[in-house]
């Protein structure tokens, strides 16, 4: 059982948005996320909304599977256009995630992009990313994606150590990443990102250091490093509960994080969000920045989340139900939340503080401002930044973001 979606109120059948939300559209950039909910096999730690052949009754190639996915998603793209109206809304960023997007053929991924382009138009210098598992790409596919307009590829490297990859149920070999990296560069991708996971069972500090060094050696433009979290309902959590595996210790994860920051920084990658580092300002993931900055985006595909002008909604999770809704000309949204002004501020604080650019103190109320001095004294936020009106986390503060957010949002 993957994670449960939050509660919310039922959205209208046609997915219509309140005029107030639509009125905000032109104020911020607009992005598109596409969730491809298929994997060849489920990894033991993963609780994302994704399905294997077995989950879908034996074959990924079925009425709700891979072959028809893009056709169905295109219907949602058309619905989105109808809902958002005639506003000129060029897409600044596209992010195709999953699941395993590269299980789709390059043709399908290209069709997806051209459907978005046809309905909305891609902005000049749009960032167009697809996630890719090292074992499921080949040179031709990468060439084709680049030609179709994809500008950025993010590889799920996770680790450079075979036993760690095995513990994570990842099927690629360590050498594979340098190979796919070379193919991506050759295909003309100027932005290549690597995802890493630390704290897996059996991963020593030396293993993690080795993975980090291997990653920076490949010269990525961007690295994301995530602590392994034991999510309820996963195989990993069952093994932890049975006592077969120890839950990763928070102190150890803190050490691993600091090690990552040290090695990545030394290699010229700068931290710009708690878990993200980039070669320079130009290679930050603009799509993900949109999430933290409260920009608008439409999430296409089963279980995808969207945000437009203070309205958040999320789609039904199962591919079959998703397909059925769209076939019946109905919005695939499962539920939505219309945020009031104070909740929107809470979100701005909660999300904005994660970024290295920091949070403007204007977002804080009196109590939140009052907490700043104490946070600075405790070494969780930078005193210098505070003087110039911004709340910026220190290295230690990044590890204690939740503490900082609670302090900034008292009551």
Partner 1 sequence: MSAAPHLAPGADPAMIRNFCIIAHIDHGKSTLADRMLGVTGVVDARNMRAQYLDRMDIERERGITIKAQNVRLPWRAHDGQDYILHLIDTPGHVDFSYEVSRSLAACEGAVLLVDAAQGIEAQTLANLYLAIENDLTIIPVLNKIDLPAAQPEKYAEEIAAIIGCDPGDVLRVSGKTGQGVPELLNEIVRQVPAPVGNPAGPARAMIFDSVYDIYRGVITYVRVIDGTLTTRDRCLMMSTGASHETLEVGVISPDPHPTGSLSVGEVGYVIPGVKDVRQARVGDTVTTARNPATEMLGGYRDPLPMVYSGLYPIDGSEYPALREALDKLQLNDAALTYEPETSAALGFGFRCGFLGLLHLEIVRERLEREFNLTLISTAPNVVYRVVMEDLSEVTVTNPSDWPGGKIAEVYEPIVDAMLLLPTDFVGAVMELCQGRRGVLKGMDYLSADRVELKYTLPLGEIIFDFFDALKSRTRGYASLDYDQAGEQLADLVKVDILLQGETVDAFSAIVHKDKAYSYGVAMTTKLRELIPRQQFEVPIQAAIGSRIIARENIRAIRKDVLAKCYGGDITRKRKLLEKQKEGKKRMKTIGRVEVPQEAFIAALSTDTGKSTTSK
Please list the residues that pair with 193 across neighbouring strands: 154, 222
SS3 state of residue 224:
strand
Among 17, 128, 177, 405, binds partner 1 (CB under 8 A): 405
Task: State how far Cα 188 lies from the chain centre.
Answer: 23
Q: Which is nearer to partner 1, 105 or 229 (CB)?
A: 229
**Nearest-approach distance from CB 219 to partner 1, in angstroms:** 24
Residue of 145, 126, 127 lying closest to 136 (CA atoms): 145
**Nearest-approach distance from CB 314 to partner 1, in angstroms:** 7
SS3 state of residue 307:
strand
**Nearest-approach distance from CB 138 to partner 1, in angstroms:** 26
Q: Which is nearer to partner 1, 155 or 257 (CB)?
A: 257
Cis before 47 (ω within 30): no
Residues 48-67 that bind partner 1 (CB under 8 A): 48
The pattern of x and - marking residues 190 through 229 that bind partner 1 according to CB under 8 A reads ------------------------------------xx-x
Among 45, 208, 291, 300, binds partner 1 (CB under 8 A): 291
For residues 165 and 156, what is the distance between their CA atoms, to the nearest angstrom? 11
Contact in structure between 21 and 313 (CB atoms under 8 Å):
no
Please list the residues that pair with 307 across neighbouring strands: 297, 312
Among 27, 86, 88, 251, binds partner 1 (CB under 8 A): 251
Q: Is 9 in the site for partner 1 (CB under 8 A)?
A: no
- Exposure of 368 by Cβ count < 10 A (0-12 exposed, 13-18 middle, 19+ buried)? buried
Residues 322-381 that bind partner 1 (CB under 8 A): 337, 343, 346-347, 350-351, 378, 380
Stretch that binds partner 1, among 134-142, 147-155, 210-218, 253-261 (CB under 8 A): 253-261
Among 312, 317, 325, 390, binds partner 1 (CB under 8 A): 312
Find the largest Cα–Cα distance for the chain: 60
Q: Is 274 in the site for partner 1 (CB under 8 A)?
A: yes
Residues 77-116 that bind partner 1 (CB under 8 A): 97
Strand boundaries in 310-395, DSSP class E = 311-315, 333-338, 359-360, 390-391
């Amino acid at each position: 059982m993957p994670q449960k979606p939050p509660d919310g109120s039922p959205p209208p059948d046609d997915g219509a948005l309140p005029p107030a939300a639509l009125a905000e559209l032109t104020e911020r950039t607009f992005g598109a996320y596409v969730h491809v909910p298929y994997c060849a096999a489920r990894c033991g730690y993963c609780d994302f909304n994704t399905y294997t052949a077995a989950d879908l009754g034996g074959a990924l190639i079925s009425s709700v599977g891979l072959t028809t996915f893009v056709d169905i998603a295109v219907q949602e793209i058309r619905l989105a256009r109808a809902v958002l109206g005639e506003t000129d809304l060029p897409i600044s960023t596209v992010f195709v995630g999953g699941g395993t997007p590269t299980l789709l053929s390059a043709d399908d991924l290209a069709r997806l992009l051209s459907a978005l382009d046809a309905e909305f138009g891609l902005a000049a210098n749009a960032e167009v990313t697809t996630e890719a598992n090292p074992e499921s790409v080949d040179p031709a596919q990468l060439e084709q994606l680049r030609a179709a307009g994809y500008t950025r590829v993010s590889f799920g490297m996770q680790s450079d150590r075979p036993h760690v990859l095995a513990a994570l149920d990842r099927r690629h070999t360590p050498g594979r990443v340098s190979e796919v990296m070379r193919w991506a560069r050759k295909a003309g991708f100027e932005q290549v990102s690597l995802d890493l996971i630390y704290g897996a069972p059996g991963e020593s500090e030396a293993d993690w250091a080795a993975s980090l060094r291997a990653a920076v050696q490949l010269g990525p433009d961007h690295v994301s490093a995530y602590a392994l979290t034991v999510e309820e309902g996963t195989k990993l959590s069952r093994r932890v509960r049975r006592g077969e595996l120890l839950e990763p210790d928070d102190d150890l994860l803190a050490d691993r994080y600091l090690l990552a920051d040290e090695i990545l920084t030394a290699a010229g990658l700068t931290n710009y969000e708690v878990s993200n580092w980039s070669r320079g300002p130009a290679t930050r993931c603009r799509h993900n920045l949109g999430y933290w900055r409260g920009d608008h985006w439409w999430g296409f595909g089963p279980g995808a989340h969207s945000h437009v002008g203070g309205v958040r909604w999320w789609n039904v999770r199962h591919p079959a139900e998703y397909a059925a809704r769209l076939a019946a000309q109905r919005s695939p949204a499962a539920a939505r939340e219309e945020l009031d002004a104070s909740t929107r501020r809470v979100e701005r604080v909660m999300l904005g503080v994660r970024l290295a650019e920091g949070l403007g103190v204007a977002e804080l109320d009196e109590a939140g401002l009052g907490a700043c001095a104490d946070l600075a004294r405790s070494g969780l936020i930078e005193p210098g930044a505070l003087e110039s009106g911004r709340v910026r986390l220190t290295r230690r503060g990044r590890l204690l973001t939740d503490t900082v957010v609670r302090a900034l949002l008292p009551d």
